[in-house]
Amino acid sequence: MTTELKNDLYLRALLREKTERTPAWMMRQAGRYLPEYRELRAQAGDFMSLCKNPELACEVTLQPLRRYPLDAAILFSDILTIPDALGLGLYFAQGEGPHFTHPINSLADIEKLGILDPNTSLKYVMDAVSKIHHALDGEVPLIGFSGSPWTLATYMVEGKPSKQFTKIKHMLYTQPQALHKLLHNLAINVANYLNAQIEAGAQAVMIFDTWGGVLAHREYQAFSLEYMQLVISHLKREARGRRVPVTLFTKGGGLWLEQIAASGADAVGVDWTVDLGKARELVGDKVAIQGNIDPSVLYADAQVINQTVELAVNDFAQGHDFNSAEFNRGHVFNLGHGIHQDVPVESPALMLEALRKFTERKI
């Protein structure tokens, strides 16, 4: 049975169908820049307690939709839920981000990892997805997500956030088969995890390859893109009578857009180093494109925000007439990465208002 959506612009844009305006959502739209989020996190006690409480995760997911006219909700969770469920002991150090008590140090550690049943070991995520899906009641679609195999592996091997990625790159160049074994395990776990989210109510999914851009050219293909393609090949592509689009986002991946577009994904995410017009030239009609706005633009005043939105819209349009379906076909407006925690809460509203002004039309 087809899920009735009052606003399906986001799903239509991902499938490169005609849209009467360019849809928008913002990475990390539910989070620390919102005072209501900070209150709820204080109530939960800590970040993971918030993630692991389906009722609170549902509430956090809905918070930005009450403030802003967004065209999609995204599950409030963390990309490291899979490594946590695999027994690596995730915790968050004050001011230092995620750490693991039991990082991966050897092939023996990798061989101990199993394949999770996400409906048991990650049931709290599926319960949250189900609650959010029902709470949205068809207002907008719900996006499920996971970190990419490579990105998850970086945290699992480094044991904490890294700037140089020396431990995992040491493994890559000295024990490549061990790393391939880890990445294959993670690809199967990620696919199962995303499929469980789809079954629970997610209407689109996204793979965040946050650290793919730190790889050398050939290594990106072999250690990141190949495993995201494996994930995509195992995904459910239809649920509740509709296609379930998948977006692949490699931060710093602008040089590989053509290869990413050939991955089997429906859409590619781009960061602020990528020109939207040139990106559209490269990918042609293969995939939709999401993103490219520098999150720091949200610090600016209304005039700068307006100019930034107008330029992005025109870059993507590539000279197509405003009333042509090609003007914004396959464009999902978004930031090139997540919202910073100290941006003014008024700024996203200004950005979304500008987008409507520059793209809304009758078709």
Q: Which residue numbers belong to the known binding site?
A: 28-32, 78, 155, 210, 337
The residue count for the chain = 363
Reduced 3-state DSSP string for the chain: CCCCCCCCHHHHHHCCCCCCCCCECCCCCCCCCCHHHHHHHHHHCCHHHHHCCHHHHHHHHHHHHHHCCCCCEECCCCCCHHHHHHHHCEEEECCCEEEECCCCCCHHHHHCCCCCCHHHHCHHHHHHHHHHHHHHCCCCCEEEEEECHHHHHHHHHHCCCCCCCHHHHHHHHHCHHHHHHHHHHHHHHHHHHHHHHHHHCCCEEEEEECCHHHCCHHHHHHHHHHHHHHHHHCCCCEECCEECCEEEEECCCHHHHHHHHCCCCCEEEECCCCCHHHHHHHHCCCCEEEECECHHHHHCCHHHHHHHHHHHHHHHHCCCCCCCHHHCCCEEECECCCCCCCCCCCHHHHHHHHHHHHHCCCC
One-letter amino acid at 198 equals I
Q: How much is the pLDDT for 1?
A: 38
Q: How many domains does the chain have?
A: 1
pLDDT tens per residue across span 125-138:
999 999 999 999 99
Q: 265 in a domain, yes or no?
A: yes
> Averaged over 71-87, what is the pLDDT?
97
Judge whether 232 and 243 are in contact, CB under 8 Å: no
> Averaged over 236-260, what is the pLDDT?
97
Q: Which residue numbers belong to the known binding site for substrate?
A: 28-32, 78, 155, 210, 337
Cα–Cα nearest to 205, from 236, 247, 240: 247
- Domain range for 158 is 8-272
pLDDT tens per residue across span 212-233:
999 999 999 999 999 999 999 9
One-letter amino acid at 307 equals Q
pLDDT tens per residue across span 135-157:
999 999 999 999 999 999 999 99
Task: For the beta carbon of residue 299, count every other beta carbon within 10 angstroms.
Answer: 14
Residue 124 has pLDDT above 50, yes or no: yes
Torsion of CA 92, 97, 102, 107, to 10 degrees: 150
> Averaged over 160-164, what is the pLDDT?
93
pLDDT band at 258 (very low <50, low <70, confident <90, very high): very high
Q: Look at 150 and 94; give whichever has higher pLDDT.
A: 150
- Compute the distance between CA of residue 149 and CA of residue 262 in angstroms, rounded to an integer: 18
Q: 358 in a domain, yes or no?
A: no
The catalytic residue positions are 28, 32, 41, 78, 155
> Measured at the alpha carbon of residue 75, what is the angle toward residues 330 and 191, in degrees to the nearest 5?
75
pLDDT tens per residue across span 23-36:
999 999 999 999 99
pLDDT tens per residue across span 190-215:
999 999 999 999 999 999 999 999 99
Q: 277 in a domain, yes or no?
A: no
Q: 2 in a domain, yes or no?
A: no
- Compute the distance between CA of residue 32 and CA of residue 328 in angstroms, rounded to an integer: 31
> Averaged over 170-188, what is the pLDDT?
98
Q: 109 in a domain, yes or no?
A: yes
pLDDT band at 3 (very low <50, low <70, confident <90, very high): low
Q: 229 in a domain, yes or no?
A: yes
Residue 307 has pLDDT above 80, yes or no: yes
Residue 362 has pLDDT above 70, yes or no: no
| End-to-end Cα, the chain, rounded Å | 27
> Averaged over 169-174, what is the pLDDT?
98
Judge whether 236 and 243 are in contact, CB under 8 Å: no
Residue 2 has pLDDT above 80, yes or no: no
pLDDT tens per residue across span 262-292:
999 999 999 999 999 999 999 999 999 999 9
Residue 95 has pLDDT above 80, yes or no: no
Backbone dihedral angles phi then psi of residue 239, each to the nearest 5 degrees: -155, 140
pLDDT tens per residue across span 102-119:
999 999 999 999 999 999
Mean pLDDT rounded to a whole number for the chain: 96
Backbone dihedral angles phi then psi of residue 299, each to the nearest 5 degrees: -80, -20
Q: Residue 144 sits in a domain of what CATH number?
A: 3.20.20.210
Q: 290 in a domain, yes or no?
A: no
Q: How much is the pLDDT for 25?
A: 98
Judge whether 36 and 59 are in contact, CB under 8 Å: no
